[in-house]
Amino acid sequence: MLGKLTWADIPLDQPIPLIAGVGAFSIVGLVVIYVLLKGWGPYLWREWITSVDHKHIGVMYVFLAAVMLLRGFVDAIMMRSQQALAFQAPGYLPPDHYDQIFAAHGTLMIFFVAMAFVIGLINIVVPLQLGVRDVAFPTLNSVSFWLTATGALLINISLVVGEFSHVGWLPFPPLSELRYSPGVGMDYYLWSLQISGVGTLLTGVNFVTTILKLHAPGMTYMRMPVFCWTAFASMLLIVAAFPVLTATLAMLLLDRYLGFHFFTNEAGGNVMMFNNLIWIWGHPEVYILVLPAFGVFSEVFSTYSGKPLFGYRSMVAATMVICILSFTVWLHHFFTMGAGADVNAVFGILSMIIAVPTGVKVFNWMFTMYGGRVRYASPMYWGIGFIVTIIIAGMTGVLLAVPPADFLLHNSLFLVAHFHNVIIGAILFGMFAGYTYWFPKAFGFRLDERLGKAAFWCWFVGFYLAFMPLYVVGLMGMTRRMQHYDNPAWYPWLLVAAAGAAVILVGIGFQIAQLVVSIRNREELRDTTGDPWDGRALEWSTSSPPPPFNFAVLPHVEGTDAYWLMKQRARERGAPEPEPAYQDIELPRNSATGFVCAFFAAILGFSLIWQIWWLAALAFVGAFATFVVFAWRDRTEYRIPAAEVARIDRENRAARRLALAQMEPAE
Amino acid sequence: MSIAARTTAVGLGGEGAAPSVPHELSELAQKRVIVGYGFWIFLLSDIVMFSTFFAAYAVLVNETAGGPSGRDLFHLDVVAFETAFLLLSSFACGVASIGARAHRDTMYYGAMAVTALLGAGFLFLEVHEFVGMIGIGAGPQRSAFLSAFFTLVGCHGLHVTLGLMWLLTMMAQVFAKGYRPDILRRVLCFALFWHTLDIIWVAIFTVVYLLGVVV
């Protein structure tokens, strides 16, 4: 009746995951009860859960990323403290549990922190920058988000019911095959990623269509802000790479569930085919994450330097070149496979070539600051910290791209230090910069600067303390994923690394404090005009937070830095643009499709993991029925009357006129 | 209303359309293009997924582990019928699209029914082939080659099955709602989906069956 699920699968003998899991779920439960008692339920349902507004969906993505970041960071602290304690000692985490922790850490951080954060920012910002009212398929956008959340939910359920994968963030066979991983941990991993992967793919389809087909009048491709370009490159990569992940994980699932022989040792299966396939997805995945971070920094450097981005065209070209090259380097993840010197040389050289367009970008950012009137706001802190850090990451990356060096460093902590250098130093710093930069746009008030800078310094110093020692022990020969060790030379470095993790913890504490303090002081931090940083792209031309329709009338774009041009004209004229003729605006109605669909997807995933076949069939029918019900709707849009549009827009125009008047004497 | 006038609205967010185009109409043309375009992108991603299965098949095709190879198992005459069914169903699907656009009930429902029957006939032959192979001990567990074969061809069969569910839903939708613009957009997407399955089948027919028997 319940497949493989029995009471024995509740890990009563393992106190740490059980207490953590029960604690986390009780907190979530208490929050839900509090929300319902306060009577906020209908508001949440109407404005967030069933919302198809890209801004709200984006905020929910970022919220999911923040929560998962905490969870993933707890895993990181546990690994660092285990390695600090486990010198000639067993430490406090048994090997079986330690394996689950590094697997969960990597999976969560890549798929549910970095991906969710990137997609969240893209959701909030890209339609605003393009000057349009929403994405191409708003309801599909909601479905995407809720499927991602389903994947995150399944992974967290594994804390309490069953176990998680022991294999690492990528499930390499034959270890991940049924014979060596008979438990449900592997299945949790696979079904979570399959479900959230569908969501990600649909996001890719949605945004490629949005960026190519929806524009404000005059917003030609070569006038799009660089963040839109990087989002476009990232989404193209999703459309081209995520199907490969889906297919590859499907093959592994067939091996595990039905005894197929794709990656088994016997009957002709080919283990290295898995490596090839997973990295054909996995390497572009790096660029799916990092390109939008580059885009954030392009916006940040240009805004806070008060200058147009240096070398806009070369930035676009570099982005698209990286987009294409990212598909040509996958083999550098396993030079040690033994494909031969010629193959390794080709992939080594191709990997080094990627450093060229990335170098172009670094110079463009520095020349953007050069000669500008630079304002050192906290996004600039993240930006300058990023430039220093990414250069180290790039150099160690080029080092790893040399096959003979890679033979020595493969699977060592040097590699771990390198990719954390990229993921924290570029992706996470970029996301934090974007979070600070666009927070007032999403919520209408700025974040506290002092705490933001304190958080930056902790993250920056903590990162160097935590990961530079790993480069060192990696060069000394320490491999990754060691639960204990007995080499006295490594021990002091691992103590430093643990201290670094503690400093990052303080940084996260500052970020939480920053959010709390900023919410409390929101009236002082209020962004009345919608343009708190003297911005350049169209998202700053509307109020903060923007009305549901984003723009009362679609803006007319006459060049790059569209809003900057509008402001210049307004300053010359001494008055904002004359009031336009307002019209009724039609917007898509809310839909519970995404939420209901994710509800069935969660049941489907859970029943497939535990092999409860009748429930899986039921859930599939439920999901299909949800789509049919959605397709049967007769009214898909609602109308905001022109008078209401005018009322909302006039408020914002009045605030801007006031700001312009105050600016006049200074000019 | 000329086609050219309609398509000027594309990509301009409804504003800035040619002044002669009424607002509502430009909105319509624009949505149709956006939906079709987005669905094309999705289909491309689906083709990428199939290409992964093709790649796996190409890697594993000779890994028969002492079991039967394609030459021993494939019957080109059955495959010829499968191909004929699928190509004819694609033609019928095209006729149904014209019928839907012309709002002609007999043409639409008739052609959709023919599409469904031919699709079901294809599925019957495929399931028959699979059952026969499993019956003689040549199931997907037998060798890596057969795993790859069943996955690639089975994935296409699964798409056809989902396509049939979609087809029946579209017949019901037109019956319940009439030829509304949003329904017609879905008919367009369904037709694109069905034709794509045809293209993938041509690749399967060539790479799996023809090369399997000839080489």
Q: pLDDT by residue (tens digit) across A478-511?
A: 999 999 999 999 999 999 999 999 999 999 999 9
Q: Report the C-alpha gap between B29 and B45 in whole angstroms.
A: 25
3-state helix, strand, coil in chain B (%, to 5): 80, 0, 20
Predicted TM-score (pTM) of the model is 0.92
Asked if A192 and A169 touch (Cβ cutoff 8 Å), the reply is no
Does position A312 have pLDDT exceeding 60, yes or no?
yes
Per-residue pLDDT of A382-420, as tens digits, reads: 999 999 999 999 999 999 999 989 999 999 999 999 999
CA distance A652 to chain B (A): 22
More confident site: A157 or A1: A157
Q: Report the C-alpha gap between A475 and A468 in whole angstroms.
A: 11
- Active-site residue among A53, A134, A187, A561? A134
Q: Which residues of A510-521 are buried (b: 16+ CB within 10 A; e: fewer)?
A: bbeebbebbeee
Asked about A206 being catalytic, the answer comes back as no
If one counts every other C-beta atom within 10 angstroms of the C-beta of residue A423, the result is 21
Does position B28 have pLDDT exceeding 50, yes or no?
no
- Active-site residue among A165, A203, A302, A368? A203
Helical pair A312-325 and A271-305, crossing angle rounded to 10 deg: 170
The residue assigned the tokens 């970041």 is A69
pLDDT band at A567; cut points 50, 70, 90: confident
pLDDT band at A635; cut points 50, 70, 90: confident
- Between chains, do B142 and A267 touch, taking CB under 8 Å as contact? yes
Mean pLDDT along residues A34-45: 86
Average pLDDT, chain A: 91
pLDDT, residue A656, reads 83
pLDDT, residue B153, reads 95
Mean pLDDT along residues B142-154: 94
Q: What percent of chain A has pLDDT over 90?
A: 69
pLDDT band at B215; cut points 50, 70, 90: low
pLDDT, residue A659, reads 80
Q: Report the C-alpha gap between A174 and A269 in whole angstroms.
A: 10
Per-residue pLDDT of A275-308, as tens digits, reads: 999 999 999 999 999 999 999 999 999 999 999 9
> Could you give the domains of chain B?
73-215 (1.20.120.80)
Q: Report the C-alpha gap between A549 and A545 in whole angstroms.
A: 11
pLDDT, residue A189, reads 94
pLDDT, residue A11, reads 73
Q: Which residues of B touch A554 (CB under 8 A)?
A: 13-15
Q: What DSSP designation does A526 have?
A: B
Nearest CA to A208 among B12, B186, B42, B31?
B42
Mean pLDDT along residues A149-160: 90
The residue assigned the tokens 């969906």 is A57
The CA-based dihedral angle spanning residues A60, A63, A69, A71, taken in that order and rounded to the nearest 10 degrees: -90
Q: What DSSP designation does B178 have?
A: -
Asked about A298 being catalytic, the answer comes back as yes
CA distance A541 to chain B (A): 17
- Between chains, do A217 and B60 touch, taking CB under 8 Å as contact? no
Nearest CA to A447 among A542, A380, A526?
A526
Tokens coding A431: 């996301």
- Between chains, do B45 and A239 touch, taking CB under 8 Å as contact? yes
If one counts every other C-beta atom within 10 angstroms of the C-beta of residue A648, the result is 18
Per-residue pLDDT of A414-430, as tens digits, reads: 999 999 999 999 999 99
pLDDT band at A573; cut points 50, 70, 90: confident
- Which residues have a Cβ under 8 Å from the Cβ of B184 and sit 6 or more positions away? B32, B100, B101
pLDDT band at B11; cut points 50, 70, 90: very low
The dihedral sign for the CA sequence A567, A571, A572, A576: positive
Q: What DSSP designation does A113 have?
A: I
pLDDT, residue B13, reads 37
Nearest to A259 among B41, B59, B141 (CB): B141
Residues pairing with A445 in the sheet: A526
Residue A586's Cα: distance from chain center in Å?
A: 31
Q: Report the C-alpha gap between A327 and A287 in whole angstroms.
A: 10
Q: Report the C-alpha gap between A615 and A607 in whole angstroms.
A: 6
- Which residues have a Cβ under 8 Å from the Cβ of A608 and sit 6 or more positions away? A187, A191, A616
Mean pLDDT along residues A531-536: 91
Per-residue pLDDT of B200-210, as tens digits, reads: 999 999 999 99
- Active-site residue among A55, A307, A418, A653? A418
- Between chains, do B186 and A631 touch, taking CB under 8 Å as contact? yes
Q: Which residues of A touch B151 (CB under 8 A)?
A: 250-251, 254, 260, 262
More confident site: A376 or A6: A376
Asked about A123 being catalytic, the answer comes back as yes
Q: Which residues of B touch A247 (CB under 8 A)?
A: 49, 52-53, 56
- Which residues have a Cβ under 8 Å from the Cβ of A256 and sit 6 or more positions away? A176, A177, A178, A186, A187, A190
Q: What DSSP designation does A632 have?
A: T
pLDDT, residue A198, reads 94
pLDDT band at A365; cut points 50, 70, 90: very high
Q: Report the C-alpha gap between B64 and A413 in whole angstroms.
A: 40
pLDDT, residue B2, reads 35
Q: Report the C-alpha gap between A466 and A457 in whole angstroms.
A: 14
- Between chains, do B64 and A268 touch, taking CB under 8 Å as contact? yes
Per-residue pLDDT of A423-470, as tens digits, reads: 999 999 999 999 999 999 999 999 999 999 999 999 999 999 999 999
CA distance A657 to chain B (A): 26
pLDDT, residue A37, reads 86
- Which residues have a Cβ under 8 Å from the Cβ of A149 and sit 6 or more positions away? A60, A64, A598
Asked if A538 and A129 touch (Cβ cutoff 8 Å), the reply is yes
pLDDT, residue A252, reads 95
Tokens coding A307: 């200058």
If one counts every other C-beta atom within 10 angstroms of the C-beta of residue A634, the result is 7
Q: What DSSP designation does B74 have?
A: -
Residue A104's Cα: distance from chain center in Å?
A: 16
- Between chains, do A631 and B169 touch, taking CB under 8 Å as contact? yes
- Between chains, do B15 and A217 touch, taking CB under 8 Å as contact? yes
Q: Report the C-alpha gap between B50 and B151 in whole angstroms.
A: 10
Cis peptide before A174 (omega within 30 of 0): yes
Nearest CA to A530 among A567, A557, A559, A558?
A567
Q: Is A487 exposed, middle or buried (0-12, 13-18, 19+ CB in 10 A)?
A: middle
Does position B120 have pLDDT exceeding 60, yes or no?
yes
- Between chains, do A262 and B147 touch, taking CB under 8 Å as contact? yes
- DSSP, collapsed to helix, strand or coil, labels residue B177 as helix
B 75-104 near A (Cβ less than 8 A)? none
Q: Report the C-alpha gap between B176 and B169 in whole angstroms.
A: 10
| B16 close contact with A: CB closer than 8 A | yes
Mean pLDDT along residues B137-152: 93
Does position B108 have pLDDT exceeding 70, yes or no?
yes
The dihedral sign for the CA sequence A533, A538, A541, A546: negative
pLDDT, residue A664, reads 56
Nearest CA to A511 among A444, A462, A466, A451?
A451
pLDDT, residue B37, reads 93
Average pLDDT, chain B: 85
Q: Report the C-alpha gap between A419 and A427 in whole angstroms.
A: 11
pLDDT band at A662; cut points 50, 70, 90: confident
